[in-house]
């Protein structure tokens, strides 16, 4: 990942916590959704095509927000100071929003309650990161 001079400091544990939280989410989501299916009991309450459609919308939105915000921050225009245009005109932390949206989308497709709970924990974690970085 690149570095840009003048950026506000990120949370000191941000990278370390993300390096644990993201694989943990993927592990819980994969094992619960496809192997054990302990918390996917509600998946029958909504038809799969609807869950897939909503989940894919969230995943695509998440990938878009993460990608575009990363490109913006490390572009020549992004190095000029506070970024308040593009996706940053919509949201102060679009990378974090993108990651949480991606996880919510994956959770929604399989309706894994365990994955939803980890998504909520990740939302709280990213909320703490944003409070620190502001």
CA–CA gap between residue 37 and residue 30 (Å, rounded): 9
Q: What pLDDT is stored for residue 84 in this prediction?
A: 85
Q: What pLDDT is stored for residue 6 in this prediction?
A: 52
Q: What pLDDT is stored for residue 1 in this prediction?
A: 45
Q: What pLDDT is stored for residue 83 in this prediction?
A: 83
pLDDT per residue rounded down to tens, the chain (134 residues): 455 455 557 788 888 999 999 999 999 999 999 999 999 998 999 999 999 999 999 999 999 999 999 898 888 776 677 888 889 988 989 999 999 999 999 999 999 999 999 999 999 999 999 998 87
Q: What pLDDT is stored for residue 74 in this prediction?
A: 83
CA–CA gap between residue 27 and residue 121 (Å, rounded): 15
Determine contact, residues 73/65, Cβ cutoff 8 Å: no
CA–CA gap between residue 24 and residue 26 (Å, rounded): 5
């Amino acid at each position: 990942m690149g570095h840009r001079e003048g950026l506000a400091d990120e949370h000191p544990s941000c990278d370390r916590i993300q390096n644990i939280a993201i694989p943990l989410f993927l592990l819980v989501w994969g094992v619960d959704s496809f192997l054990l299916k302990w918390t996917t009991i509600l998946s029958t309450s909504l038809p799969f095509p609807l869950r897939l459609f909503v989940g894919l919308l969230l995943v695509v939105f998440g990938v878009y927000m993460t990608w575009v915000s990363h490109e913006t921050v490390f572009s020549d225009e992004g190095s000029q100071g506070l970024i308040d245009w593009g996706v940053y005109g919509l949201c102060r932390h679009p990378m974090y929003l993108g990651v949480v949206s991606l996880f919510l989308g994956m959770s929604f497709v399989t309706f894994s309650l365990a994955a939803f709970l980890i998504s909520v924990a990740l939302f709280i974690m990213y909320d703490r990161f944003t409070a620190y970085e502001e």
